């Protein structure tokens, strides 16, 4: 009979023991090079820069910083209110001054119901003769110290509920009394209507209306933008 040779003690024999899982083998047992028993560096350790906070700081908060609300609605409201108030106030004042100056000149006009009369003039005064609307224009003669040519301006004026239109004029080159004869047709004598006063009055009205409309438009736009922003918020 053939006898089985006795087992030789080796690295995995009971005498040496089985290396524990994940541990080092007993002394005297060779360690395999590059084997599965050696721990692999780099696995399981947290890698810097991935998933962790940056060195020396806190983790960044999520989301972008909130944007500041636009100031455009507030600016439009302020500008619109200023334009509205200033334009209305300035327009009313300008209109009152302009038309008020024309109205104050009413005391300078005189009606000759009989068609003849006298006026006192200073040197350089320009006077116009006015005929009532709807009445034939009379032929007049003017006598005085020094009668000069008048103005080419045509004027219209309302006085005592009657409307008058200019048809002739003269300039007093010297101070004195001037005699006017126009037959039996009523005439009115006075200075030309102030063009500056009329333009000032009309300009005041346009300023108040136009500036007020612009101010209201800016106010409306600002209010709409403010309402839309609040709804979005």
List pLDDT tens digits, range 112-170: 998 899 999 999 899 999 999 888 899 999 998 999 888 888 888 887 788 999 999 99
Task: Indicate the SS3 state at residue 38.
Answer: coil
Q: What is the mean pLDDT of the chain?
A: 78
pLDDT, mean of residues 169-190: 91
What confidence score (pLDDT) does residue 5 get? 52
pLDDT, mean of residues 22-39: 53
Q: Which residue has the higher pLDDT, 176 or 72?
A: 176
What confidence score (pLDDT) does residue 215 get? 92
Lowest-pLDDT range, 83-87, 157-161, 178-182?
157-161
What confidence score (pLDDT) does residue 70 get? 76
pLDDT band at 24 (very low <50, low <70, confident <90, very high): low
What confidence score (pLDDT) does residue 109 get? 87
| Tokens 């403010």 -> residue | 226
Measure the CA angle with vertex 71, ends 66 and 74; round to 5°.
140
Contacts of 87 (CB under 8 A, 6+ apart): 207, 208, 210, 211, 212, 214, 215
pTM of the model: 0.51
What confidence score (pLDDT) does residue 1 get? 45
* Bridge partners for 111 per DSSP: 188
């Amino acid at each position: 009979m053939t006898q089985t040779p006795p087992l030789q003690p080796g690295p995995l024999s009971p005498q040496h023991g089985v290396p524990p899982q994940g541990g080092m083998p007993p002394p005297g047992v060779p360690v395999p090079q590059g084997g599965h028993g050696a721990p692999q560096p780099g696995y399981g350790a947290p890698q810097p820069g991935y998933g962790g906070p940056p060195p020396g700081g806190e983790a960044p908060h999520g989301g972008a910083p909130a944007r500041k609300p636009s100031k455009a609605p507030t600016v439009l409201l302020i500008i619109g209110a200023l334009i509205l108030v200033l334009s209305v106030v300035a327009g009313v004042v300008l209109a009152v001054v302009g038309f008020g100056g024309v109205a104050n000149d009413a005391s300078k006009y005189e009606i000759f119901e009989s068609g003849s009369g006298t006026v006192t003039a200073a040197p350089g005064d320009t006077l116009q003769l006015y005929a009532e609307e709807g009445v034939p224009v009379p032929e007049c003669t003017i006598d005085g110290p020094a009668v000069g040519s008048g103005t080419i301006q045509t004027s219209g004026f309302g006085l005592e509920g009657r409307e008058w239109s200019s048809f002739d004029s003269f300039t007093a080159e010297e101070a004195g009394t001037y005699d006017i004869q126009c037959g039996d047709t009523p005439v009115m004598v006075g200075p030309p209507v102030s063009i500056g006063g009329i333009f000032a009055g009309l300009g005041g009205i346009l300023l108040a209306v136009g500036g007020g409309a612009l101010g209201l438009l800016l106010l409306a736009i600002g209010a709409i933008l403010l309402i839309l922003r609040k709804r979005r918020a």
